[in-house]
Chains A and B, each alone.
Chain A
Amino acid sequence: MNIFMKWFHRLGSPPWFYNISGKLIPWFAVTTILTLVVGMYGGLILAPADYQQGDSFRIIYVHVPAAWMSLFIYIVMAVAGAISLVWRMKMADVMLISSASVGASFTFIALVTGSLWGKPMWGTYWTWDARLTSELLLLFLYFGIIALYNAVEDRQTASRAVAVLTLVGVVNIPIIHYSVEWWNTLHQGTTVARMDGPAMDSSMLWPLLTMAVCFKLYYIWVLLVKARAELLSREINNGWVRELVGGKANG
């Protein structure tokens, strides 16, 4: 067995994951906060105001990374879903379902910050712009996944059902995205300011990238915390959890 497969098998072992994630969480917490502080300082104070949008543009330091994360997390979930269906790995199930609510939150944040930005810029909170619409549909997909998981009683069955649904969704996301884009251009034309304007100045760009890294680190941090909790509740009848809990209760 080569090193990669060994690592892969170890990753599938709940006690090993529980152990290692406990050690990793503080690191991710610290780096998240660090990048958050740096990114926010760079974005809110150092970066110059936009010549057209003034200070309103600064919302992109939350909006854009959140929108990136909303798609990124869905892809992570689809990969986890595929792993779960092919190799029946418990950890993949846990990762998949722990990611869902984080992904839904990021999608929600992207929508809310987008509409807050839209009010001064476009003069309306909501417009049926292609990107807004496909982001909204992505949110519905997340809700569907969470609802299905909660509706099925048996955790094992629920995870596998959710894995299938996630994979069905991932086939559909490009289709939905392009249909919505096409639908919008057919009906409205370009009445709405396009996002892909001039290239950004580096003084505005680096805080954005820092925030993107920050959001990724935050995702991993929260994912590990949630996955540990999920793991404990799932493995409650297994020896290692009893040992863990019993050991602490006695000591």
Chain B
Amino acid sequence: MSVWSAFIQLIRRDLVLALRRRSELANPILFFVMVIVLFPLGIGAEPNLLARMAPGIVWVSALLAALLSMDAIFRSDFEDGTLEQLLLSAQPLPVLILAKVSAHWLVTGLPLLIVAPLLAVFLGMSETALGALLISLALGTPVLSLIGTIGVALTVGLRRGGVILSLLVLPLYVPVLIFGASMVDSAATGLSFSGQIYILAAFLALALSLAPVAAASALRISLS
């Protein structure tokens, strides 16, 4: 089997598995929506205040939703032994991990993009800000998934991996949060945000090329 077809097969397998468990599919989206609903309840529903804080609120919520769903990427495969078979397979592990991350992002990251317009309405964001939000989420959430994969790979064998995972991964998420939120912020105040697009794209390129390798070596250590 060529590397490419292994990549496609693994994505297809993960997507089929995810679609068979539809209730789990909805969880990250529900979490994302509910966290965002909590903010107006907590800080007051004044439209100006909400519009000012919207970029940060949406990005922090997206980050938390991404973090929450991260744990599932290897969990079931680890429990039924599939992960060990992936490690033993003849295909390069980083490529397989990239396939798993891609499938995971399609199931958990992409839905955030789909519900984002609804939340933009909740928070009173303008149309240009919404456009910037969609671009920033499209570029940023894959980076969150890729970085998170390294953390999950390090903690997959642990019983209480969840708390440690957030401790490991959150500091590494900070740059994405900063540039994602500042991009939406710039758009909301009518400034150009092309700089942030380039930087987020650069993060994505860096994460795409390095994170699978790091996650592969972390996984080999965790399962050794």
Q: Assess whether A161 is in contact with B174, with CB atoms less than 8 Å apart.
A: no
Given contacts A148-B154, A151-B158, contact A164 B214 (CB under 8 A): yes
Query: Which chain A positions have C-beta within 8 A of B158?
Result: 151-152
B217 CB to closest chain A CB, in angstroms? 6
CA distance A72 to B157 in the complex (A): 31
Task: Enumerate chain B residues within 8 angstroms of A164, measured Cβ to Cβ.
Answer: 150, 154, 214, 217-218, 221
**Does B164 sit at the interface, judged by CB under 8 A?**
yes
A-facing residues in B119-160 (Cβ within 8 Å): 150, 154-155, 157-158, 160
The reply on A56 being an interface residue by CB < 8 A is no
Check: B47 CB closer than 8 A to any chain A CB. Answer: no
Chain A proximity mask over B24-67: 1 for CB below 8 Å, otherwise 0: 00000000000000000000000000000000000000000000
Selected from B164, B179, B224, the residue in CB contact (under 8 A) with A151 is B164
User: For the complex, is B72 an interface residue (Cβ under 8 Å from A)?
Assistant: no
Q: Is B171 an interface residue (CB 8 A)?
A: yes
Contact B150 A168 (CB under 8 A): yes
Q: Does B210 contact A (CB under 8 A)?
A: yes
- The digit string for A124-158, where 1 denotes a CB below 8 A from any CB of B, is 00000000000001001101100110011000010
- Asked if A157 and B155 make an inter-chain contact with CB atoms under 8 angstroms apart, the answer reads no
CA distance A126 to B170 in the complex (A): 21
User: Given that A148-B164, A151-B158 are known contacts, is A161 also in contact with B222, CB under 8 Å in the complex?
Assistant: yes
Known: A140-B170, A141-B171, A157-B222. A151 touches B210 (CB 8 A): no
Whether the Cβ atoms of B168 and A165 lie closer than 8 Å is yes
What is the total number of residues of chain B having a CB less than 8 Å from a CB of chain A? 26
What is the interface of chain B mostly: helix, strand, loop, or mixed?
A: helix
A71 on the B face (CB < 8 A): no
Partner of A176, one of B155, B157, B168, B174: B174
Chain B residues 200-224 with CB under 8 Å of chain A are 203, 210, 214, 217-218, 221-222, 224
Can you add 12 more A-B contacts, CB < 8 Å, to A160-B221, A176-B174?
A: A137-B174, A151-B155, A160-B224, A161-B221, A161-B222, A168-B172, A169-B171, A172-B171, A175-B175, A175-B203, A179-B174, A179-B178
Point out residues on B near A: beta carbons under 8 Å.
150, 154-155, 157-158, 160-161, 164, 167-168, 170-172, 174-175, 178-179, 182, 203, 210, 214, 217-218, 221-222, 224
Q: List 8 A-B contacts (CB under 8 A).
A: A137-B171, A151-B158, A152-B158, A161-B218, A167-B214, A172-B171, A180-B174, A186-B182
Interface of A with B (CB < 8 Å)? 85, 137, 140-141, 143-144, 147-148, 151-152, 157, 160-161, 164-165, 167-169, 171-172, 175-176, 179-180, 182-183, 186
User: Which 5 pairs from chain A and chain B are nearest by CB?
Assistant: A179-B175, A144-B168, A140-B171, A183-B178, A160-B221
